[in-house]
Structure 1
């Protein structure tokens, strides 16, 4: 067990958005109950499940011990909106995102909390920590010990430019502090992926730090909302076909642009208080950077997409 002293007083909020999760949710809750760090509370919002998800939660020992609270049960929100309303109940200093079909390694919370507190410093700078994860099948048999070892996504992502085309990081691996939550809220309605928005804002305002351990067993199955993307090794023909997806990626960039620029305007930040990197990112979204400048930035960026496809998109920004 990791040495923890002052962190013992810091409660962690775990945001768990559920929907028809009866098949695996008992195993998830058991893995939370077995964490080496126990000062946490699980916040559940359910999107109108038709199965026994809520009944299972209410019967679990975490609920009986007052460590699991069920806040809302109305449906029709969708995965992202359901997570957003779950986050609204997270008021404690640290927040971890949780998927209903995962299994947590016993030291996950403890290691993530120690790392977060170390990186945020005494000034509580907006900070997000993410870890690796194991890809497993429905019975928790390991398919890959490392997500990033077999994915097109990169654990070296840390700047807002790295998150322009896509999100590298599964939300279930994230822990962040309340300081970050204060700056990423409200999450724009038109931004369809809550975890992408959270880490984009973390990269812009604060710190995104990788913890090089697989602390979650992530089930790969037919009912995943997103799944572990980018795992298959593409053939040459598949790569050429991928390039044809540039219009789809441009639409995603447009979503970032339409959400981020109004967000910055609402913050009413004085230009002189922005760093050079922040100014360049805003200029990029406002189409103020010439091609030479864009390609200079691109050369230092990890995009999370096929490199040729990413190059084409950056040329067209």
Structure 2
């Protein structure tokens, strides 16, 4: 009967061709020590490198904990988005944690700490923590996200994302359905955090409990800086209508900041071209 009861938390993992990393990711969840039950929901986007076979082995070994979403073909549109959404739909727990298949957790009490906090503080919707960044096989301090206070709100988050995906736990089913644009959005985690933050505050636990693996060849990192800025600008413009006027104004400030960066970059490139032209004439 235990398996039929609602799990306290659903651990959401998505993966695609993560053969070299997925075992470390799953083991970080298996070692969790909790006084509540949890489930691990893993979505595989039709991997071809042996990842799927590893997942099946784990599911057979831990049938009461692991459930698989084995997609027969990759989703159309934004890479991984359909895998993310269909796997999220399988998460029935009171809370949801996120972790990509190439990242991993390092603290066996991670879930217990985060769920304990959210249970004791119903006015909070999200809880996240510090992570290390793994780059070129070396662990580094996180210089990607900005430093913020232990408690923040949607007004802070609207200035820019500071939550690593592998660190977050949030209350499930805070709203009925995702906006239509979510399916097309090039950014999923930040959009989801913003939507959840409409319903409560955000807690930061100042402890290292996970590792974010940075790939220079990832879909996002491999794009030119100018292209990333344009994608982000379009993304912000498309999500702003889902929030109240005050949050829209903060998002507009973020949009203006990116526009200034883009314009400055375009101007610098133009000046460089002009200088090169006159040098050639000489």
Counterpart contact for 1:128–1:202, Cα < 8 Å: yes
Q: Is the CA contact (8 Å cut-off) linking 1:46 and 1:74 kept in structure 2?
A: no
In structure 2, how many angstroms separate the alpha carbons of the residues matched to 1:219 and 1:284? 30
- Alpha-carbon RMSD across the aligned residues, in angstroms, is 3.4
Structure 1 residues 220-253: Cα deviation after superposition (integer angstroms, max 9, x where no partner): 34454557xxxxxxxxxxxxxx8xx5x9647534
Correspondent of 1:256 among 231, 236, 242: 236
Task: Tell me, in whole angstroms, the C-alpha distance in 2 between the residues paired with 1:94 and 1:152.
Answer: 24
Matched with 2:148 is: 155
Conserved 8 A contact 1:133-1:215: yes
Q: Structure 1: which 5+ residue stretches go unaligned?
A: 1-8, 228-241, 265-277, 288-293, 295-302
Distance 1:176 1:152, change over 3 A: closer
The Cα of 1:258 is off from its aligned counterpart by 2.5
Instruction: Specify whether residues 224 and 12 from structure 1 end up closer, same or farther in structure 2 by C-alpha distance, changes over 3 A only.
Output: farther
3-state secondary structure, aligned to 2:147: coil
- Three-state SS of the structure 1 residue aligned to 2:183 is coil
Partners of 1:64 and 1:152 in 2: CA distance: 35
What is the distance in 2 between the residues matched to 1:116 and 1:248? 34
Give 1:5's aligned residue.
none
Counterpart in the other structure of 1:92 = 93
**Structure 2 residues without counterparts, runs of 5 or longer:** 1-5, 262-282
- Aligned CA distance change for structure 1 residues 221 and 62 (closer, same or farther; 3 Å): farther
- What are the residue-to-residue correspondences of 1:53-68 with 2, within 5 Å? 53-60=51-58, 63-68=61-66
Using the size of structure 1 for normalisation, the TM-score is: 0.66
Q: How many residues end up aligned between the 2 structures?
A: 248
Look up the match of 1:298. Answer: none
Q: Is the 8 A contact 2:13 2:41 kept in 1?
A: yes
Query: In structure 2, what is the Cα distance between the partners aligned to 1:312 and 1:222?
Result: 26
Aligned with residue 171 of structure 1, among 165, 176, 198 = 165
